[in-house]
Amino acid sequence: KAAAFGLPFLPTRVGLGTDLAELGGLKTVQSPYDDAETLIAMPALKLDAALIHVNRSDWRGNVQVFGPDAYYDEWFAKAAAKSYVSCEELVDRMEDHYPEGAQDNLFERCFVSGVVEMPCGAHPSSMPPHYGWDMTAFKAYADSAKDPGDWAEVADRFVGSSEAEYLESIGGKEAVTGLPLPIF
């Protein structure tokens, strides 16, 4: 959040009473208020780029996210030097097509450097209400971490091909959109 706010650090209690500050090279600050509490000065994590997948966007970077938990996408977009949005559906002008959806916009379009339409682009993660998690793909990814040789095979399958080839290798768009949604 510090980087998103343009600050060098944010004060936090996380890590107090542990070796985290000393081993991690973190500094402490004193609260300027009456309690004069000692806090960790957690440094900003500045991102070169953020890749964010959303349900819907227009070409200007107005986004709509429908899921129950948008995670940290807003903070990533604001902390990054450049943010790129991929979306399930690209529309010309959000206000012309979905004027009632302004509350689904997580961050201002000034934080978006580019937009691309990429149906199923969140796979193997979920994109409610379109599709759920692909636990088979997550398991293959996690298992590949055990052996560097296994990773090469997984990387070829998940990273080394075009989006169309990737979707075909996992059963197509229908297989992704058929994944059950998680229940929260």
Which pLDDT band holds residue 38 (cuts at 50, 70, 90)? very high
Shared domain for 62 and 101, answered yes or no, is yes
Mean pLDDT of 59-69: 89
Q: Is the pTM of this model over 0.85?
A: no
Shared domain for 34 and 93, answered yes or no, is no
167 falls within a domain? yes
Shared domain for 161 and 109, answered yes or no, is no
d(CA 174, CA 184): 23
Q: What total number of domains does the chain contain?
A: 3
184 falls within a domain? no
Shared domain for 10 and 59, answered yes or no, is no
Domain ranges, residue 14: 2-43
Shared domain for 76 and 104, answered yes or no, is yes
Shared domain for 83 and 113, answered yes or no, is yes
31 falls within a domain? yes
Q: Which of 117, 150, 169 is the last residue of a domain?
A: 117
pLDDT given at position 93: 87
